[in-house]
Amino acid sequence: MIMVTNLSEAGNPPLIYLGVMLAFGVVILYRAKQKHVEKEISFYWGLVLLFLLEILCFATLQTSLGLLIFSLACLLCCFYLPAPAMLPVDRKAVLITGSDTGIGHKLAKYLDDLGFVVFAGVLNEEGLGAEELRKTCSERLSVLQLDITSSQQIQEAFLEVKKKLGNADLWGIINNAGILGFPADAELLPMNSYKQCMEVNFFGPVEVSKTFLPLLRKSKGRIINISSMAGGIPMPKFAAYGASKAALSMFSGVLRQELSKWGIKVAVVHPSGFRTSIQGTPEQWKKLEENLLEKLPDDVKKDYGEKYLFALKNFLSCIPNVSTPDLSPVLQDILHALLAKRPHGLYSPGKNAYKYQLIFHYFPLWFYDCFMSRLEPVPVAPKALEAAETRDKNS
């Protein structure tokens, strides 16, 4: 920041003060998000006091001295924001779905290290992920066979958790299990892709929540649903996945309102690009691609063309390159949702989460659509559109 020595050097003091206020305001809000500061009345009163201090400095002091004092006050606010009030771990019991790999696997280890009693639901209790949890985690962690699309397995998991808890209470449910499916244009996706995404990403968490809620009412605990950035804003190629995650986010909001009378707090997490195994393996990609091509009508396949359909493979392979392997922001947000006395209703971990939401909510839709189209990883145009463009140029 360039300091000025007198009013004549200051240019336009009101504009300078306004610029400094906006800059520090953004920094304070960003720091508050990082530290999970509880934005109660006292927090907003603090911002009002800073604004009044700015007016006082502008009205009574030279520009340079006033800006210096105001800047120091803002810096103090940035570095000395109050830490959120947190509950003790105290061997609280939590159920996590989808603990075989990715966020669920890391979360099970993370919470176990902190002293939680963890019930790690896995799709395959004989798989490598389940075996690693048994070997590396404490005796507090229990691995449960839990396919969230199976009502029978959900009920069996409920009885097992209830049995192992004894007289203790279940504190939290973390609905993490999910699938991505094959990213492609909405018209190209077969109906079974939409149904599968809804079954795993929406109906599964709904049934798990409904089944375990009687235990949560006793503890006045927490439900945390892991949605996605694609569940909050429209993103090309994610029609099936995004729609299922949007349904989960809406369900979470309704639950938050309805369960507040029971003392149960509900949060939804919208992570941005983190490197997990949700996109699957090359073998799974091949099966999904074959399923897509088999279900395509001939006229649709002809209009899009083999070149465009083949280029869709590149989308999946690009996902790890634009994702971060550091899952700590997600884990810390989930921990805050579990233990904060006043958890947030929505968490958006990841450096790009706010950027995309900001553009979608506060810019014209045409600007957002243009912005997203420039991120399109499939540069090939459908065959019919290329042919039409060529005819237009030649006519």
Q: What is the pLDDT of residues 35-44, one digit of tens each?
A: 565 555 556 6
| More confident: 10 or 112 | 112
Beta bridge partner(s), residue 142: 119
Q: What is the pLDDT of residues 199-218, one digit of tens each?
A: 999 999 999 999 999 999 99
pLDDT score of 31: 65
331 band by pLDDT with thresholds 50, 70 and 90: very high
Residue 324 pLDDT more than 90? no
CA distance 213 to 58: 55
Most confident of the following: 45-49, 114-118, 182-186:
114-118
CA distance 370 to 374: 6
The per-residue pLDDT for 69 is: 76
pLDDT score recorded for residue 242: 95
Q: Which of 17, 110, 241, 356 is catalytic?
A: 241
Nearest of 157, 161, 177 to residue 93 by alpha carbon: 161
Half-sphere exposure at residue 280, Cβ-oriented, CA atoms within 13 angstroms: 17
Please report the pLDDT score of residue 48 as a whole number: 72
Please state the rounded mean pLDDT for residues 229-236: 90
Measured in whole angstroms, the distance separating CA 91 from the mean position of its chain's CA atoms is: 26
234 near 285, Cβ under 8 Å?
Answer: no
Which has more confidence, 93 or 359?
A: 93
Examine the pLDDT at 184 and tell me if it is beyond 90.
no
Q: Is 241 a catalytic residue?
A: yes
Q: Does pLDDT of 100 surpass 60? A: yes
Percent of the chain residues topping a pLDDT of 70: 80
CA distances from 115 to 84, 112, 291, 335 (A): 20, 5, 44, 12
Task: Look at 164-168, 170-174, 199-203, 371-375 and tell me which has the smallest mean pLDDT.
Answer: 371-375
Question: Taking a C-beta distance cutoff of 8 angstroms, is the pair 120, 111 a contact?
Answer: no
Task: List, for residues 61-92, the tens digit of each pLDDT value.
Answer: 777 777 777 777 777 776 666 666 789 999 89
| Residues 221 and 172: beta-carbon distance below 8 Å | yes
**For residue 5, is pLDDT > 50?**
no
Taking each continuous run of H as one helix and of E as one strand, the counts in the chain are 16, 7
Structural domains present in the chain: 7-79 (no CATH), 93-373 (3.40.50.720)
The residue-averaged pLDDT of 333-351 equals 91
